[in-house]
A and B are shown apart, each in its own frame.
Chain A
Amino acid sequence: MEQPPAPAPQSTEAPVKQQQNPQTTGPAPQMAPNGLGPMDLPQIPNPTLMDPEAMAAILPTQSFIPDPSMMAIPMPDPHMMAMPLMMANGNTPAAPAQPKEISADDIALYDRQIRLWGVAAQAKIQSANVLLITMRALANEIAKNLVLAGIGSLTILDDTIVTEADLGAQFFLAGVENPVGQNRAQAAHPAIQKLNPRVQVHIDAEGVKSKGPSYFAGFDVVIATDLDSDSFNLINTATRLNGRKFYGASTHGMYGFLFSDLIEHDYVIEREVGNIATQPKQETRTRSIIDVKTRKEGTKNMESVTKRELFSTWFLASDMAGLPEEYTKSKRRLKSVTPALSCLRALWEFTQVKSGQVPSNREDLKMFTQIATQKHKALGLPSETLSSEFLRSFLQNLGSEIAPVSAILGGQLAQDVINVLGQKEQPIQNMIILDGNTMESLMYPLHPEGALGTLQLSLASNEPLIPNGGAGGDVMMGVGMDGIPFDPTAMAAMPIPDGFPMGGAMIPPGISMPIIPGQIVPVLGQQPANGTGEHLPTPDASIVAGLPAGTAPPSQPSAAPNATSAQSQGQPQGESEPPKGSST
């Protein structure tokens, strides 16, 4: 597999084209104050150079959009939706702009890292546009690491307000006069920009839910932090539609996770030829060697091994996907799986039901424990590894953020982003669970059965399994037009009724699923554009009709996930801390 071709002239034309395309403007570019002179500033590469018409010309003949409800999706251009399908190589529907030349000044500044990953990777890094959503401690770490590494541009999207508790671990707020009450991203901006004047740092103080899917097309990588599951799902759906790489991550005090959906990612390992020649082959369920090139370097025989990793969406990986075979077949390995995985899955589900709230009262804790126990079972994990001691510790940490754990997870996430941009190293696949108490950072490839990578969507489109799939379409009608802020919950609605195999297929038999993903389809049109995270109207009964018998329908179904709910997650009320001796 060759490197994705990206004709050189594109990058020079980029700024012009970008202006012609209102979809990609996003935040107004802010020129950074710097002492380096304009020549040092990277150009804004435009990752969205695809000509939609050109794309249409190579669309598969059979329609990808079988269901009329899909048409209601507020996409500026329906062809955009097909984009992921056409990409045999997930590296990019709109290939990242041609890497720029690196100047001698760049080499001097980035000397110590170029010695690790080389000039070519550095050039790719410097051409990358990254979106970072929610500016809490974890995102502070990620922003620091990416800006130091010299990415092309960083856009920070956050519409929440700084509180006193934010000062605890968010070091970019240091030195800001009266930070409390300011927008969190704006307050952090000066300190981030000062880290590296060569990086364009943009602030977008709007909420993520005010953004249409095309907004995400303007970035090579989208990193969403400290949000609830619905929000991760929405954003990931948008990145899939645009063929962009997605990371989702949160910390809760001592615990944290990071998830990646790179769709399909190719990278090249350079190494000395071993005794046995490397051959193209399938290495794991998700990874294959697709090309091997050998060459002579001095006296050594070197090979460039191009590998491809396939990924799954947040929607499919976060809850339904089981552990890979090498775990399920080994009692020892199942026993070593961290119970934090079950607890995180329980948390994602809990917050869906409870409008983004974390467990706060005795009843909540009981419910949380029940869900966690179910998740644990569904993963096939032995019940003794989910101890009450662990549950208590996990719950006690909810909503908290502390410097060391944020630093570790933020370092791991940023490093993976850098490796992915440089296409040089094995990426994370696809879930990392960090436990600051045991100092473990465990990786679990979580994938549903069936197709992976780009095929995951197209396969799904052939099997609309949800009986009431049309309902989502109905409620979505009339929402969103090109250029008009629309409620992105529509994006979540889109693939779920129509797109994904659901029902029994993904759920291990015998496991009662109190919530099925269909529930996250919010009721559209009833949610004010900037919802406050307050209780929302009960959803259309048809949407939650899939509930298994015996499970009480949630009385406060999830609203459109939004930054406000994330915020409330970040500021647990006192009662969110579990009472002593609760849980189990």
Chain B
Amino acid sequence: MTAMEESPSSAAQTAPVTENGPSDPSKQQQPEQQENHENPQKPNPNATPSARSQIPRRDRFNHQSLGPSLNSTVKQARVLMVGAGGIGCELLKNLVLSGFGEIHIVDLDTIDLSNLNRQFLFRQEHIKKSKALVAKDAAQKFNPNVQIVAHHANIKDAQFTVSWFRDFKLVFNALDNLEARRHVNKMCLAADIPLIESGTTGFNGQVQVIKKGVTACYDCTPKETPKSFPVCTIRSTPSQPIHCIVWGKSYLLNEMFAHEIEELKKESDALKKIRNAVGAPDFPKLLFEKVFDADIERLRSVEDMWKSKRAPEPLRYEKLLIKTNELDGSKDSILADGQKVWSLEENLVVFKDSLERLSKRIIELKKTKDAAAPDPVIVFDKDDDDTLDFVASSANIRSTIFGIERKSRFDIKQMAGNIIPAIATTNAIVAGLCVLQSYKVLKGDYSQAKEVFLTPFGSARLMAPDRAREPNADCPVCGVFNATVTVDPAQTTLNDIVEGLLRTHLGFGEKEFVLNNEIGVLYDPDETENLPKKLVDLGIKDGSFLTVVDEDDEHPLVNVVLNIEEGALSNDAIKFKSSTAAQPAIPQKPKKAPQVEANGHSAGESNGIVEIDSQSKGVKRQHTEDGGQPLKKAKTGGASSDDVVVIEDAGGAIIIGDD
């Protein structure tokens, strides 16, 4: 089954000979197609007259439509697919059916019930299992001639080095978060391996080809940052449901069941007392009276705040509790209807009940924990009903106090969990496009590789293929010179890198420059004490990246990004081995244009589409396809990245993230 890896030239003939029927009449018509399809038994580059009949019958249509040359390239291609979720399942199916020779899948995630409406390789019985492994097993059946290797791992793990990436012909991103996308983007640029990047949101989707120096990379355009809210809005002056949801999720739940937030600590002494009452019969009452009554009274007393807006109205616990007795439905019937917008009384029922459930859990966790282990915590998880019910009910109670509309638990789950709507069809379309793009890449035909956006309800087309954008010369990620150096971190010193590699080999000479790693400055002309140190002592190891910033005022070179690889050096005298030829032509930085950050880009957002003005002044763009045509850019899953809420305050920003 893996004959193709052993002998790339015979990749197209991996099927057993018995499959090659004697009667493919098309062979007479296709003499020109024979040359690339030698008999597997005779790995002879010269075609034999019967070669055409050696195409496995199951592959005849790929052969017919792709042509022998491209089809054979596909059969030999070793590719990586990062992510085996919505796009990944569809993409893996297409890759396997197309007969890509060897396919590696990396995914950290496990299967969830809510995946099953679109991730068709997974079933009920696979819930909680590894996506990568289940996807591999399911897709292997589609085509026995393909080798699939599954890694249940994080693509950011150290094992996936630049040189590991370099062994692929092509990388496909099928990810759902910004962070991992940026990482793979960076790795592919460093390895100089083409990357096909894709994303979907609801009916919208996009696919682009990223190739170092040829097309724009993922980071050539600034990406949306997570939503942020000023602290005072969350704490004192909410005006939208989301403000109350963030309060319930990031503040109240954490105060009671997780860590205390340092910045908010001074206010939480009273809360601390209540926290100590977790599990006590009057715990719900204490908490309610604190946050929905006393705190509100206090807020209300600041009269200046309520001159132009409705003052919040505190709630009396006992009074409300009596009213819950008049409710028609039982607690269970309330909880069963997550679509309904619960009344205030119903929310109180859920508030009490979820608090009881959470209290029981945390007490149990405390009982069973090791003495040495840190205190157990419960943090928000959209799929953890106890936390969701608590956040939903406390957000709704708070909304009622501030005269804000209440939301159903279904809607709150989406807002609190940053859930992006996702459907099978969009993923299928985008995954199909990824493979069509890969054909262009495998042919080296980058001029035909497009940046394609889905335009689901367009009047003239369902997809808008646009010429691939050129790299942004100012891009901090791809506008750099990449080099790989093999070192022995226990032997090689920083001085070997600075003097030997940079000044001598790469030709920096007497230039002034700064050498950084992810943490900070390792070397600059005034900071030389690290030079004698071994790399291992500086935390530099296999997979580390070092950045060289040229300090030249007049004609600075672009940043050089060094990818560190650990490896054997032939003898002790040699301290490093560079993959780059001596004295390479490192380009100069482009003329400094005024920095355009967010202000250059229209932030206009409607219907899930963010428009990015390609004509932003200051950004040099050679591609002037249709003059002033704005690039429509679909918002991809990037924003979905783990739900981080940034709370900015005068004193800085507090980032409250759960996990």
Knowing A396-B65, A397-B65, A412-B425, say if A404 contacts B98 (CB, 8 Å).
Answer: yes
Which residues of B in the span 107-153 have a Cβ within 8 Å of any Cβ on A? 113-114, 116-118, 120, 123-124, 141-143
Q: In the assembled complex, which residues on chain B have CB atoms less than 8 Å from the CB atom of A169? A: 61, 97
A328 within 8 A of B: no
Which residues of B in the span 421-450 have a Cβ within 8 Å of any Cβ on A? 421-429, 431-437, 448, 450
A342 within 8 A of B: no
Cβ contact within 8 Å between A116 and B456: no
Cβ contact within 8 Å between A411 and B425: yes
Q: In the assembled complex, which residues on chain B have CB atoms less than 8 Å from the CB atom of A195? A: 120, 123
Cβ contact within 8 Å between B425 and A443: no
Q: In the assembled complex, which residues on chain A have CB atoms less than 8 Å from the CB atom of B450? A: 439
Q: In the assembled complex, which residues on chain B have CB atoms less than 8 Å from the CB atom of A450? A: none
Knowing A149-B423, A574-B29, say if A254 contacts B433 (CB, 8 Å).
Answer: no
Q: Which residue of B lies closest to A150 (CB)?
A: B117
* Cα separation A298 to B123 with both chains bound (whole Å): 39
Cβ contact within 8 Å between A112 and B336: no
Q: In the assembled complex, which residues on chain B have CB atoms less than 8 Å from the CB atom of A436? A: 436
Q: Which residue of B lies closest to A287 (CB)?
A: B459
B405 within 8 A of A: yes
Cβ contact within 8 Å between A404 and B57: no
Q: In the assembled complex, which residues on chain B have CB atoms less than 8 Å from the CB atom of A144? A: 120, 424, 428
Residue among A109, A400, A411 making CB contact with B65, cutoff 8 Å:
A400
B398-434 to A contact mask, C-beta < 8 Å, 1/0 = 0000000100001000100001111111111101111
Which residues of A in the span 558-584 have a Cβ within 8 Å of any Cβ on B? 572-580
Closest Cβ of chain B to A278, distance in Å, is: 17
Knowing A397-B65, A440-B465, say if A165 contacts B57 (CB, 8 Å).
Answer: yes
Helix, strand, loop or mixed for chain B's interface?
helix
Q: In the assembled complex, which residues on chain A have CB atoms less than 8 Å from the CB atom of B77? A: none
* Cα separation A397 to B63 with both chains bound (whole Å): 10
Cβ contact within 8 Å between A112 and B426: no
Residue among A35, A163, A403, A412 making CB contact with B435, cutoff 8 Å:
A403
Cβ contact within 8 Å between B65 and A164: no
Cβ contact within 8 Å between A441 and B61: no
B460 within 8 A of A: yes
Q: In the assembled complex, which residues on chain B have CB atoms less than 8 Å from the CB atom of A174? A: 141-143
Cβ contact within 8 Å between B424 and A400: no
Cβ contact within 8 Å between A145 and B463: no
B339 within 8 A of A: yes
Q: In the assembled complex, which residues on chain B have CB atoms less than 8 Å from the CB atom of A407? A: 90, 93-94, 428-429, 431-432, 435
A402 within 8 A of B: yes
A10 within 8 A of B: no
A167-205 to B contact mask, C-beta < 8 Å, 1/0 = 111010011000000000000000000111100000000
* Cα separation A495 to B463 with both chains bound (whole Å): 36
Q: In the assembled complex, which residues on chain B have CB atoms less than 8 Å from the CB atom of A415? A: 203, 423, 425-426, 429, 456
Cβ contact within 8 Å between B61 and A408: no
Cβ contact within 8 Å between B432 and A404: yes
Cβ contact within 8 Å between B62 and A168: yes
Q: Which residue of B lies closest to A408 (CB)?
A: B432
Q: Which of B19-27, B281-289, B485-493 lies at the interface?
A: B19-27
A332 within 8 A of B: no
Cβ contact within 8 Å between B141 and A408: no
Residue among A150, A165, A175, A411 making CB contact with B429, cutoff 8 Å:
A411
Closest Cβ of chain B to A363, distance in Å, is: 14
- A-B pair count, CB < 8 Å, reads 213
Q: In the assembled complex, which residues on chain B have CB atoms less than 8 Å from the CB atom of A440? A: 461, 463, 465
Residue among B25, B337, B426, B462 making CB contact with A575, cutoff 8 Å:
B25
B458 within 8 A of A: yes
A418 within 8 A of B: yes
Knowing A402-B98, A439-B465, A577-B64, say if A175 contacts B141 (CB, 8 Å).
Answer: yes
Knowing A104-B336, A253-B64, A439-B436, say if A116 contacts B203 (CB, 8 Å).
Answer: yes
Q: In the assembled complex, which residues on chain A have CB atoms less than 8 Å from the CB atom of B97? A: 168-169, 171, 402-403
Q: Which residue of B lies closest to A197 (CB)?
A: B124
Q: In the assembled complex, which residues on chain A have CB atoms less than 8 Å from the CB atom of B142? A: 171, 174
B345 within 8 A of A: no
Q: Which residue of A lies closest to B410 (CB)?
A: A107
Cβ contact within 8 Å between A113 and B422: yes
Cβ contact within 8 Å between A575 and B424: no
Closest Cβ of chain B to A412, distance in Å, is: 6
Knowing A410-B428, A415-B425, A442-B461, say if A109 contacts B117 (CB, 8 Å).
Answer: yes
Q: In the assembled complex, which residues on chain A have CB atoms less than 8 Å from the CB atom of B462? A: 412, 428, 432, 441, 443
Cβ contact within 8 Å between A577 and B30: yes
Which residues of A in the span 385-419 have a Cβ within 8 Å of any Cβ on B? 396-397, 399-408, 410-412, 414-415, 418
Cβ contact within 8 Å between B61 and A165: yes
B338 within 8 A of A: yes
Which residues of A in the span 147-168 have a Cβ within 8 Å of any Cβ on B? 148-150, 163-165, 167-168
Residue among A111, A405, A428 making CB contact with B432, cutoff 8 Å:
A405
Closest Cβ of chain A to B398, distance in Å, is: 16
Cβ contact within 8 Å between B124 and A35: yes
Residue among A116, A396, A403 making CB contact with B421, cutoff 8 Å:
A116
A425 within 8 A of B: yes
Q: In the assembled complex, which residues on chain A have CB atoms less than 8 Å from the CB atom of B428? A: 141, 144-145, 407-408, 410-411, 414
Knowing A112-B423, A405-B432, say if A164 contacts B141 (CB, 8 Å).
Answer: no
Knowing A169-B97, A573-B25, say if A108 contacts B114 (CB, 8 Å).
Answer: yes
Q: In the assembled complex, which residues on chain A have CB atoms less than 8 Å from the CB atom of B425? A: 145, 149, 411-412, 414-415, 418
Residue among B29, B414, B427, B459 making CB contact with A579, cutoff 8 Å:
B29
B529 within 8 A of A: no
A348 within 8 A of B: no
A115 within 8 A of B: yes
Q: In the assembled complex, which residues on chain B have CB atoms less than 8 Å from the CB atom of A114? A: 410
* Cα separation A171 to B338 with both chains bound (whole Å): 37
Closest Cβ of chain B to A8, distance in Å, is: 19
A468 within 8 A of B: no
* Cα separation A583 to B356 with both chains bound (whole Å): 78
Q: In the assembled complex, which residues on chain B have CB atoms less than 8 Å from the CB atom of A167? A: 57-58
Q: Which residue of A lies closest to B113 (CB)?
A: A108
Q: In the assembled complex, which residues on chain B have CB atoms less than 8 Å from the CB atom of A408? A: 428-429, 432-433, 436, 463
B12-45 to A contact mask, C-beta < 8 Å, 1/0 = 0000000101001111111010000000000000
Closest Cβ of chain A to B506, distance in Å, is: 40
Q: Which residue of B lies closest to A581 (CB)?
A: B32
* Cα separation A432 to B460 with both chains bound (whole Å): 9
* Cα separation A411 to B117 with both chains bound (whole Å): 14
* Cα separation A533 to B333 with both chains bound (whole Å): 61
B457 within 8 A of A: yes
B202 within 8 A of A: yes
Q: In the assembled complex, which residues on chain A have CB atoms less than 8 Å from the CB atom of B461? A: 440-443
B655 within 8 A of A: no
Cβ contact within 8 Å between A168 and B59: yes
Residue among A115, A149, A168 making CB contact with B419, cutoff 8 Å:
A115
A119 within 8 A of B: yes
Knowing A397-B65, A407-B94, say if A113 contacts B117 (CB, 8 Å).
Answer: yes
Closest Cβ of chain B to A187, distance in Å, is: 13
Residue among A111, A116, A148, A580 making CB contact with B114, cutoff 8 Å:
A111
A110 within 8 A of B: yes
B60 within 8 A of A: yes
Q: In the assembled complex, which residues on chain A have CB atoms less than 8 Å from the CB atom of B420? A: 112
Interchain Cβ contacts under 8 Å between A and B, 8 examples: A145-B428, A168-B60, A253-B64, A410-B428, A415-B423, A425-B203, A443-B461, A579-B29
Closest 4 CB pairs of A and B: A574-B26, A574-B25, A253-B65, A407-B432
- Chain B interface residues (CB < 8 Å from chain A): 19, 21, 24-30, 32, 57-62, 64-67, 90, 93-94, 97-98, 113-114, 116-118, 120, 123-124, 141-143, 202-203, 336-339, 405, 410, 414, 419-429, 431-437, 448, 450, 452, 456-463, 465
Given contacts A107-B410, A112-B421, A439-B450, 19 further A-B contacts (CB under 8 A): A109-B113, A112-B423, A113-B422, A119-B339, A149-B423, A167-B57, A171-B93, A171-B97, A174-B142, A400-B64, A402-B98, A411-B428, A414-B428, A437-B448, A440-B463, A443-B459, A574-B24, A574-B25, A575-B28
